[in-house]
Structure 1
């Protein structure tokens, strides 16, 4: 294998480590949001009369999980 090809391929890899970190950081809130709504639908199916309360808690949990994702998005720009 030609060494110049190996050097060219190493130099071609550019990008932001922050973008990679955000991609990894978005996994946690994504799983959390899925669990929140999945278990919330299950709770409503088990007790339809408690739909208002369950839905309220689902939205609060969603907002908190989404805030973590947004913080993960902002941090790489604040601390380069």
Structure 2
């Protein structure tokens, strides 16, 4: 009887932990998306050369990652 209760509690705890990890993962993805949006759509005309170079490099990195992600999705692979 105690072992069944213990097993059920353990299973419930594992399920709760899995859900919490998924929630955290989704929150991290949302924050990353927001940061990428800020970089992709910020106005570089008011920046100095170093700032502009940094933003353009970050944009290129984001675009490359997105292209790779689209390629994986098209070929049936999952990047997630």
Q: TM-score, normalised by structure 1?
A: 0.43
Specify which structure has the bigger relative contact order, considering alpha-carbon pairs within 8 angstroms and separated by 6 or more residues: 1
Q: TM-score, normalised by structure 2?
A: 0.43
Higher helix share: 1
